[in-house]
Amino acid sequence: MGIDKNFTSRYFEDYRLGMTIPHALGRTVMQGDVALYLAVTGSRFAVHCDRVYAQNLGYRDCPVDDILVFHLVFGRTVPDLSLNAVANLGYAGCRFCAPVYVGDTLYAESKVIGVKENSNGKTGTVYVSSRGWNQNGDTVLEYYRWLMMRKRDESSKPPEPVVPSLPDKVADGDFVIPDFLREKAADATDDVNVGSSARWDDYNVGDDIHHIDGQTIEEAEHQMATRLYQNNARVHFNQHVEKDSRFGRRIIYGGYIISLARALSANGLAHGLRMAAVHSGRHAAPTFAGDTVYAWSRVLDKQPIAGTEQLGTLRLRTLVAKDNGTMVFPAPEDKSSWPPHLVLDFDYSVLMPRRASHKKSDRKAQKG
Amino acid sequence: MGIDKNFTSRYFEDYRLGMTIPHALGRTVMQGDVALYLAVTGSRFAVHCDRVYAQNLGYRDCPVDDILVFHLVFGRTVPDLSLNAVANLGYAGCRFCAPVYVGDTLYAESKVIGVKENSNGKTGTVYVSSRGWNQNGDTVLEYYRWLMMRKRDESSKPPEPVVPSLPDKVADGDFVIPDFLREKAADATDDVNVGSSARWDDYNVGDDIHHIDGQTIEEAEHQMATRLYQNNARVHFNQHVEKDSRFGRRIIYGGYIISLARALSANGLAHGLRMAAVHSGRHAAPTFAGDTVYAWSRVLDKQPIAGTEQLGTLRLRTLVAKDNGTMVFPAPEDKSSWPPHLVLDFDYSVLMPRRASHKKSDRKAQKG
Amino acid sequence: MGIDKNFTSRYFEDYRLGMTIPHALGRTVMQGDVALYLAVTGSRFAVHCDRVYAQNLGYRDCPVDDILVFHLVFGRTVPDLSLNAVANLGYAGCRFCAPVYVGDTLYAESKVIGVKENSNGKTGTVYVSSRGWNQNGDTVLEYYRWLMMRKRDESSKPPEPVVPSLPDKVADGDFVIPDFLREKAADATDDVNVGSSARWDDYNVGDDIHHIDGQTIEEAEHQMATRLYQNNARVHFNQHVEKDSRFGRRIIYGGYIISLARALSANGLAHGLRMAAVHSGRHAAPTFAGDTVYAWSRVLDKQPIAGTEQLGTLRLRTLVAKDNGTMVFPAPEDKSSWPPHLVLDFDYSVLMPRRASHKKSDRKAQKG
């Protein structure tokens, strides 16, 4: 015997610099995943719900929502990375690569790129680089993440500390932009009504967009979504244990808040195509069933894409607050200025079609 | 700039007689939609859950439940019609046209056919004709609806009042009845056990049918269903705002009650095929999570279909009550006689197979 | 007329020895069923979520989870068997036969194999043999079940009592084991990471496995799952009636607990393939929304399969407790020793791959 039959629970000492952790369990994406994701988020992006729109753009079917892809890949990593985590400290350098379609099967692995014991001798920070790929071996997602892990034995010798240098931002040149979008993102969506006429051209750096709608979170919705991703972190599902925890209740999976932020953002960013990258993401506070979340975005940057006039990128800072429908954007790095109702600070880039060229001529003609 | 990035919120003044409103966002129907719809309603109609039964009838697959088609089309219209609605006053003249299958993509538009400011100067009634169609341009659904809308500016000049004449009932001759049902609805379902032997032949005008089972509504079920349709009316999802509203809580989407009524009606109308038309529908009172709904139907009329002995139509008045399992049918138009627990009054026609001809001979033979 | 339009409610007197009850309503399995099942259980068995893994084993697609197949077949039987049941007393002799795939349509019938009136003259026990099959007529599932039913008329004459002899255990020789599993269950899964390296070889009779994770049940999750199976037993859905019942609330469908037990067991039995048989199952106590369930398994037996070294069987006794994360295995038959938090006692056999032959050589080589 001697073989542990339960999933391996890893402690800080178990993560050694340079080790690769292959995560268990491939996951085939189903039409039911897509429908359930819609049901728990209310997402309204045409590319994910209108096959005709997606195919006109050049996709062979509706691509799976980028955040759903993230959750499915992240779910693979949970038994290896999260079961003994004290806190999920942050994300960086997340790139969305090959589009994912219903029928694809996803796999994941993580590499340990940094370890540093905390001064209290009880915990340490582990830095990983995680990657998801499909049945053909094409990378669909990659990101950095760092977590605070419990030590198994407080007297164990700390490892040589290594803190990797993580990117503040994924470089625009590293965005994966399908050729078909470069060729026709504007032309293919020119006549399509998605609820707002605003294209890339209409956003300006510094614009603040209130996404208006609030969503109240129910325990059942959150549990169903999180189980769908096969994320089995215990704090989300076990009230019998959590009633005696610091919060006295189950904690909502942080990724669920990212999903709601992205879904709510359709009211203000309706023409958004795929996410190109998440530059950083931080959960400022936990959320619980019964909380109502709201979202705001600020346009941090807008950039054309070399060699095409069909689409451009918007870099957005999206904030989520709970139980507060009005918020002032705090300074990003001054945590002391963060309002108490802030739960997520999310910095990402999205691809958005530009106004089709003949329309630009029209506008010029009108002005002229 | 000057382009509003949020979904357009329309007020009474924004609806002008004769204008056409194209609704945003196509929606491809998925197998997951069908399963989730089953999960939130418990529907038991063979045509929607047994592919063999559906194909024997002549459908190429299980057709999507008519009420789910209604919700998906209705969902398209919500940002344009419901965000500033004070009340959803009623439906009429609803016809179900081309069958919808998984894989179809649905679109919708509405035409303003009447406007009338209310005497209080604060609101007005808007009458629309809405239509849904599929990726081939075939109409799948059309209906009239009228709503009470807020005025943007109480001092704005009222429009010339136009109140359209809406049909009391969709004429039987306007029902869309697929040829294959005319040819074999009775023969194809003759041997099939759907839980009751009652066919069209067994129902009589004036019959009252108690559908018996009650369903208690949960917030999570309702929210997931309503988001699935991409209905984003705020009263359904935001407890943070609704806690301060007249009711102090989120309101269940009225269409969810229609779904439950239809699903419950399988216990009493098990051989029902498609709905042909909704002649009128009125929400008598709001429902909330925790309410238990019951349904009753009265047969208002039964008619053969010219040129076929395979199926006939039943016109039904279905009532839904909450937290009351016994009810007396009130007079339809005398609202003062409506019992306080009544939440829906629904007048529709359903197609139902007749007893197969050789069985009729058997019965005659037995009698003779 | 004289034809009852509602589903038939059967009482003890209506079950006559030898009668066959054809259950209503075929049910086509959808991708959405599979996703929803995942969402309400959190199941982590590779064969049900990774198409590549399933196809490498020889399945043509991921087979539908055995317990989901059970629920779908069981759901067919509910209107005929459960509506007037006082208690679901037990299961035995359950065999899983042909694999079920998305797209299959399932049907069911039951045969009455025993009846015995209880001494109180108010109820009686009915024994049935139930069978489910697919659109090709292949049996997918068969099992025995016995229920306590109400009498319609307490003064009716009791039937001749017949208590069938039910098997304590499905014989190993009666397990349905697809040829492709016999040929390559070990080889095809040899390199696959499912979260534990433990194969059939690593389990010993008498091993106790704590499945660790607890799941708190939500009303909405349970209702959605149970409606998905079209199980319409009233105690699960109607709080308006149940508030006045013995428990004052809706009862969770016992099968939901079986689902959670099976899903939780992946943490300890990760390489499990299909269930071969359920030898017996007993619900020791009802569960309610808000309860948190835990599961443990004891290895009762392990057997090789004649003619193959690719896989073997494990016979397991799985217990489920609510709101108690530590439990001692009680004696199976001494009910007085059952702890009060025990809710399910489940005795079944599962197929599990053996260690691939070249790996065994490696181990020998290492030892040697």
The sign of the CA dihedral B256, B261, B264, B270 is: negative
Q: Which amino acid is at A300?
A: L
Cβ contact, residue pair B193, C23, below 8 Å = yes
User: Around Cβ B17, how many Cβ atoms within 10 Å?
Assistant: 16
Query: Do C224 and B39 make contact, defined as CB atoms within 8 angstroms?
Result: yes
pLDDT band at B368 (very low <50, low <70, confident <90, very high): very low
Q: What is the reported pLDDT for B1?
A: 40
Task: Please name the residue that has the structure tokens 């002005």.
Answer: A367
Q: Which domains does chain A have, with CATH numbers?
A: 1-29+64-153 (3.10.129.10), 181-368 (3.10.129.10)
Indicate if the pLDDT at residue C328 is higher than 80: no
Residue B361: is its pLDDT beyond 80? no
C303, C276 Cβ separation under 8 angstroms: no
- Per residue in B168-216, pLDDT tens? 999 999 999 999 999 999 999 999 999 999 999 999 999 999 999 999 9
Residues in A closer than 8 angstroms to B237, CB to CB, are: 42, 213-216
3-class state of residue B164 by DSSP: coil
- φ/ψ (deg, to 5) at C180: -65, -30
Residues of chain B contacting residue A44, judged by C-beta atoms under 8 Å apart: 24-25, 230, 232
Distance from the A96 Cα atom to the nearest Cα atom in chain B, whole angstroms: 24
Q: What is the mean pLDDT of chain C?
A: 93
- Is B235 in contact with B245 (CB distance < 8 Å)? yes
- Confidence check: pLDDT of A229 > 90: yes
Chain C residues near residue A5 by CB distance under 8 angstroms: 196, 198, 202-203, 207, 209, 268-270
pLDDT digits (tens, 9 = 90+) for A255-309: 999 999 999 999 999 999 999 999 999 998 999 999 999 999 999 999 999 999 9
Name the residue facing C7 among B46, B195, B221 (closest C-beta). B195
Contact criterion met (CB below 8 Å) for A95 and A279? no
CB B176 within 8 A of CB B98: yes
Contact B158, B124 (CB under 8 A): yes
Q: Report, as an integer, the average pLDDT of C263-283.
A: 96
Cβ B325–C241 below 8 Å, yes or no?
yes
A43: distance to nearest CA of chain C, Å? 18
Please answer yes or no on whether B7 and A195 come within 8 Å at the CB atom: yes
Residues of C in contact with A234 (CB under 8 A): 213-214
- The fraction of chain A above a pLDDT of 90, given in percent, is 87
Rounded Cα distance between C195 and A24, Å, is 5
Q: How confident is the model over B334-357, as pLDDT tens digits?
A: 777 778 899 999 999 999 999 998
Asked if residues C228 and B31 have their Cβ atoms less than 8 Å apart, the reply is no
What's the pLDDT tens digit per position in B215-252? 999 999 999 999 999 999 999 999 999 999 999 999 99
**CA nearest to C79 within chain B:** B195
* A201 pLDDT above the threshold of 80: yes
Provide φ and ψ at C170, rounded to 5°.
-70, 130
Cβ atoms of B146 and B118 closer than 8 Å = no
End-to-end Cα separation, chain A, in angstroms: 83
Q: Does the pLDDT at position C193 exceed 90?
A: yes
Distance from CA of B285 to the nearest CA of A (A): 23
SS (H, E, C) chain A: CCCCCCCCCCCHHHCCCCCEEECCCCEECCHHHHHHHHHHHCCCCHHHHCHHHHHHHCCCCCCCCHHHHHHHHHHHHHHHHCCCEEEEEEEEEEEECCCCCCCCEEEEEEEEEEEEECCCCCEEEEEEEEEEECCCCCEEEEEEEEEEEECCCCCCCCCCCECCCCCCCCCHHHCCCCHHHHHHHHHHHCCCCCCCCCCHHHCCCCCEEECCCCEECCHHHHHHHHHHCCCCCHHHCCHHHHCCCCCCCCCCCHHHHHHHHHHHCCCCCCCCCCEEEEEEEEECCCCCCCCEEEEEEEEEEEEEECCEEEEEEEEEEEEEEECCCCCCCCCCCCHHHCCCCEEEEEEEEEEEECCCHHHHHHHHHHHC
Chain B residues with CB-CB distance to C219 below 8 A: 218
Chain C: residue nearest B321 by CA?
Answer: C240
Q: Could you tell me if A150 and A86 are in contact, meaning their C-beta atoms sit under 8 angstroms apart?
A: yes
Residues of chain A with pLDDT > 70, as a percent, come to: 96
pLDDT surpasses 70 at C363 = no
Selecting from B34, B44, B292 the residue whose C-beta is nearest the C-beta of C32 gives B34
Of C232, A32, C248, the closest CA to residue B260 belongs to: C232
Q: Taking the alpha carbons of A328, A333, A336, A339 in that order, is the dihedral positive or negative? A: positive
Report whether A225 contacts A36 (CB < 8 A).
yes
Q: Taking Cα atoms as reference points, which of A291, A288, A292 lies closest to residue A239?
A: A288
Residue A218 CB neighbours (<10 A): 23
pLDDT of A177: 97
Per DSSP, the three-state class of B259 is helix
Structure tokens at A155: 């007297």
Taking a C-beta distance cutoff of 8 angstroms, is the pair B217, B252 a contact? yes
Q: What is the structure's pLDDT at A7?
A: 85
At B73-106, the pLDDT tens digits run 999 999 999 888 888 888 999 999 999 999 999 9
Distances (CA, A) of B131 to B67, B73, B137, B207, C266: 14, 8, 11, 33, 49
Alpha carbon A86 to its chain centroid, in Å, reads 20
pLDDT at C247: 95
Residues near B146 by Cβ (< 8 Å), separated by ≥ 6?
Answer: B89, B90, B114, B125, B126, B127, B128
CB contact under 8 A, C42 and A227: yes
Give the integer Cα–Cα distance in Å for A108 and A25. 9
Annotate C326-350 with DSSP letters as a single string: --PPPPSS-GGGS-TTEEEEEEEEE
Confidence of residue B367 (pLDDT cuts 50, 70, 90): very low
* Token pair belonging to B197: 């032997």
* Residue type at position A219: E
Which pLDDT band, with edges at 50, 70 and 90, does B155 fall under? very high
| Rounded Cα gap, residues A260 and A298, in angstroms | 17
Residue B9 has pLDDT above 60, yes or no: yes
If you ran DSSP here, which 8-state letter would residue C202 be given? G
pLDDT of residue A367: 47
Give the separation between CA B95 and CA B98, rounded to whole angstroms.
Answer: 10
| pLDDT at site C137 | 98
Q: Is the pLDDT of residue C184 over 80?
A: yes
Q: Is B283 helix (H, G, I), strand (E, B) or coil?
A: strand
ipTM of the complex: 0.95
